[in-house]
Amino acid sequence: MLDMTEYQTLYMEELDEQLHLMEEEILRIEQSGESLEGIQRLFRAAHTLKGSSAAMGYDRMKRLTHNMEHILENVRNGEYTLTKELATLFFHCVDRMKQLRTEIANGNIEKSDIDDLLLELRKDSWASSPQNEVFSGLSADIELPDEALHSVIQQMTSGKKAFWVHIYLTDECEMRAARIHVMNHLLEQFAAIVWSDFSRVVEEIQGNGDASARWLIVSDSSEETMAEDILQWVDVERVDIRESNITELKALTISSVNDQEEFSESSISSSASLIQEKSRVQSIRVNVDRLEQLMNLVGELVIDQTRIKQIEKSLDLKFGTDELIQDLGQISDHFTRIIGELQESVMKVRMLPIEQLFNRFPRMIRDLSQSLGKDIELVLEGKETELDRTLIEEIGDPLIHLLRNAVDHGIESPEARRERGKPDKGKVTIRASHEDNQVLIVVGDDGGGIDSQRLLQKALSLKLLSTSEAEQLTEKEAVDLVFHPGLSTASKVSDISGRGVGMDIVRAGIERMNGRIDITTIKGQGTQFNIRLPLTLAIITGLMVKVSESTFIIPMSNVAEIVRLEPEEIRYVRGIPIVTIRDQVIPIVWLQDCFGYSEQHRQNKHIPVVIIGRAEKRYALAVDELLGNQEIVIKGLGGFVGQVEGIAGATILGNGKVALILEIGGIIRMMSRA
């Protein structure tokens, strides 16, 4: 008997890919209208999953995809139209398949029931939904010339849309034939007329026929705008406008049967081209674990390279310009160059476009918008920006939290937006880009902004601040209270957000990645979160500092500047040590005090101080000695040590000793409690 377990991994990978493709395509069709290519992609995905599921013995997955495939075939043939209701049903099918996927991954058994979805998919009403009845009324009995279809396709490539327009004249209209002519002329003013039956209607009107005519037009205006304009025309009683698509128009052409055959052939040809194109791509799939292992080996080489450099320096100091030491230096330099190139190559392999993360959001925003009764446009920019795969996995949850907050609390209801003179449709933007060897991710909305005074009042009511402390806060510091645990200005708690338990976790998560987050908000205009992340978490540049004979590493991405201070420059305000650097008052703490080391540093004549930053705020860390910076490989502390506040991990130095890497968010929290 054939053992199928060896194909399980391949099946799961294909399942993930096809489910993602289906979700993306349904969303695209729902937003932009169906297209022949989109329906075909969706059909192919369902067909592929049906085949592979049958081969693997997953019956429920096979039956679900088979029934989806059946409906899609009818949509492709022009018998059905992919309405919003049908798109929603497809989304439910994809969700159930994801559930089945989890069950298969956990126990190789499909448990979830699919009968309810099969019942919905098999309903006859998809071919005669109310919307379809309207559609058939607009395009019934029409034989569209092939030239008209080609004209529509040509014009739609420039972003325009095709619409059926049906205009009814009032009974009081006395010169109906002339009025229909005028309608045709007026339509030509803002649209390209592809087809119309107005000539036939004019003849029938002269014989007391129906006083209405139909047009197929191509325009870049919206249905609402056109309807408003047309209803202003004299003698117009009613107008029906509905967007059409290539699938429908193709079915109406005189040579539709032949076209279907050509379509199938072109689809096969297109698929074949795609396969050929894929076969030309010089790439292979590699298990992520193997990449992780490769990265670990490169990390070990980086440590050895640092140690060799250290040994070379020691020998040089001990034996001077010995010929063998010079040879060792040359080999060391060559070794450094090769490892640098190797490291860069492995890093590139681990880099993925952030599109993989961004693609999860459109569906989420759609569902949230519908559940909240809001109309929201999600704009994704910079999807090609590359980021280490570990960071892409880590940043997902913080971004989801920010987006849910933006939809729930940021964007106002359509009524509230109307009152403020804003368009009904709100906008949420996510933008990614590279900036100064970092990745900048911006999450913004055009909603109501954060009310700093409400935050202050809430903080006072919860006794998180005293009145005098609240009075001293700047506007920016008041807005930053949103990151305080348990603080929310939401008027009601929903299952989406509002408990005030998320923003502090968002900031803590970003700081654990050695990143930073800051807010810009304007009341009534919107809020923007700027997140800065290092390109990778595997190997970073760190500043080595010495504290009580121990070496610590501060990630360079957190270092704002380094200064040396005289002891007398440190002053105390209400018992809190502070320093003034370029007119900015900065709290200072001795790193030794954070970890309970001895106070031998206090005897130094000049105190090395590292200024670290969190958003606009600055903090000063006094250390015993600065040792310089170098590339370090981040290692976990292991389960035995567990998590230690203020420590992000460890690394091995060139001398073979272990140094702890500081987690700046934790250090700042420790400073706040000191």
CB 387 within 8 A of CB 533: yes
Nearest to 503 by CA among 378, 654, 615, 634: 615
Contacts of 542 (CB under 8 A, 6+ apart): 553, 554, 555, 556, 629, 630, 631, 632, 651, 661
Residues of the chain below pLDDT 70? 1-6, 34, 127-142, 157, 203-210, 247-248, 250-283, 436-437, 488-501, 599-604, 614-616, 638-639, 642, 673-674
Question: Which residue out of 23, 69, 248, 663 is catalytically annotated?
Answer: 69
Question: Which residue out of 67, 184, 245, 405 is catalytically annotated?
Answer: 405
Nearest to 369 by CA among 489, 496, 454: 496
CA angle 440, 441, 444 (to 5 degrees): 130
User: Would residue 257 be called left, alpha or beta, if left means φ above 0 and alpha means ψ between -120 and 50 degrees?
Assistant: alpha
| CA pair distance 260, 291, nearest whole angstrom | 46
| CA pair distance 550, 647, nearest whole angstrom | 14
Contacts of 336 (CB under 8 A, 6+ apart): 305, 309
Sheet holding 212-219, edge to edge: 192-196, 212-219, 161-169, 236-243
Residues 107-130 as b or e (16 or more Cβ within 10 Å = b): eeebeeebeebbebbeeeebeebe
Quick one: which H or E segment has residue 203? helix 198-206
C-alpha distances in angstroms, 13 versus 49, 69, 142, 346, 460? 11, 21, 46, 23, 52
Residues 387-418 as b or e (16 or more Cβ within 10 Å = b): bbbbbbebbeebbbbbbbbbbbbbbbebeebe
Question: Which residue out of 47, 103, 132, 629 is catalytically annotated?
Answer: 47
What pLDDT is recorded for position 488? Answer: 66
Domain extents for the chain? Answer: 4-122, 146-246, 288-487+499-536, 539-673
Query: Is 106 known to be catalytic?
Result: no
Instruction: Please identify, in words, the CATH class of the domain defined by 4-122.
Output: mainly alpha
pLDDT tens digit sequence for 173-190: 777 788 888 888 888 887
- Running DSSP on this structure, what letter comes out for residue 557? G
| Alpha-carbon radius of gyration of the chain | 33
CB 481 within 8 A of CB 461: no
Cα pseudo-dihedral 426, 432, 433, 437, rounded to 10: 140
Quick one: which H or E segment has residue 361? helix 361-372
Q: Residue 322 corresponds to which amino acid? A: D
Nearest to 469 by CA among 574, 571, 572, 570: 574
CB 530 within 8 A of CB 442: yes
Count of Cβ atoms closer than 10 Å to residue 299 Cβ: 21
CB 255 within 8 A of CB 148: no
The three-state DSSP-derived secondary structure of 488-502 is CCCCCCCCCCCCCCC
The three-state DSSP-derived secondary structure of 140-182 is CCCCECHHHHHHHHHHHCCCCEEEEEEEEECCCCCCHHHHHHH
| CA pair distance 34, 554, nearest whole angstrom | 53
Contacts of 452 (CB under 8 A, 6+ apart): 475, 478, 479, 481, 523
- Evaluate whether 146-246 and 288-487+499-536 have a shared fold: no
CB 548 within 8 A of CB 598: yes
Q: Residue 363 corresponds to which amino acid? A: R
Phi, psi of 284 (to 5 degrees): -135, 160
| CA pair distance 251, 260, nearest whole angstrom | 8
Nearest to 518 by CA among 623, 526, 258, 510: 510
What pLDDT is recorded for position 556? Answer: 85
CB 319 within 8 A of CB 325: yes
CB 633 within 8 A of CB 346: no
What pLDDT is recorded for position 262? Answer: 45
| CA pair distance 496, 147, nearest whole angstrom | 51
> Cα 48 vs. chain centroid, distance in angstroms?
27
Nearest to 496 by CA among 395, 410, 391: 410
For 589, the 3-state DSSP assignment is strand
CB 529 within 8 A of CB 443: yes
What sign does the CA torsion over 511, 514, 520, 525 have? Answer: negative
**Superfamily classification of domain 539-673:** CheA-289, Domain 4 (2.40.50.180)
What pLDDT is recorded for position 465? Answer: 79
What pLDDT is recorded for position 609? Answer: 92
What pLDDT is recorded for position 325? Answer: 84
pLDDT tens digit sequence for 427-440: 999 999 987 667 89
Record the tokens describing residue 583, joined without a space. Answer: 């007119």
Query: Is 69 known to be catalytic?
Result: yes
Query: Is 143 known to be catalytic?
Result: no
Helices 361-372 & 389-405 angle (0-180, nearest 10) = 10
| CA pair distance 73, 80, nearest whole angstrom | 9
Nearest to 237 by CA among 182, 138, 168: 168
Average pLDDT along the chain:
80
What pLDDT is recorded for position 272? Answer: 42
Q: Residue 364 corresponds to which amino acid? A: M
| CA pair distance 406, 422, nearest whole angstrom | 16
User: Which CATH architecture fits 146-246?
Assistant: 2-Layer Sandwich (3.30)
Phi, psi of 239 (to 5 degrees): -140, 135
**Superfamily classification of domain 288-487+499-536:** Histidine kinase-like ATPase, C-terminal domain (3.30.565.10)
